[in-house]
Amino acid sequence: MVKKNPPLYLALYKLQKYLYVVVKYFPKEYKHTLGKDILSLGWEVLDLVIESNGIENEKKHIPLTSACIYFDKLKMRLRFAYELKIISHKRYSFLIKMNEDIGNMLFGWKKWSEGKAL
């Protein structure tokens, strides 16, 4: 049985919705390459968090470790898009704040779950 959605789930859902807005304004040559990668990585992180939320505590560390890796990949692609000036400074600043909050929750949950796996 899936438990109540944690704040991390809701934060990732909000991030994914915002990523769709951001990618919508990508130039055509980046929308179907870099934009698609960004959206796919966002979904992957969200899916892994949902999976983690639905399994017993001793096994949560496995999908959470993968979620952390995908989240780092997502952040790198967002930075790349910003450096190519595809994402505005204002949008990137907002994404950084969201990513900091999500990162704290995600990596904190992962650390907690590793203690439960012992």
Taking the alpha carbons at both ends of the chain, their separation in whole angstroms is 23
Domains of the chain with bracketed CATH: 7-117 (1.20.1440.60)
Query: For every one of its 118 residues, what pLDDT tens digit does the chain have, with 9 covering 90 and above?
Result: 455 667 998 999 999 999 999 999 999 999 999 999 999 999 999 999 999 988 998 999 999 999 999 999 999 999 999 999 999 999 999 999 999 999 999 999 999 998 876 6
Listed in sequence order, the DSSP H helices in the chain are: 7-24, 28-31, 34-53, 61-83, 89-117
Query: How far apart are the C-alpha atoms of 44 and 107, rounded to whole Å?
Result: 16
**Global pTM value:** 0.91
Per the CB < 8 A criterion, the answer to whether 23 and 39 are in contact is yes
Cα 19 → chain centroid: 10
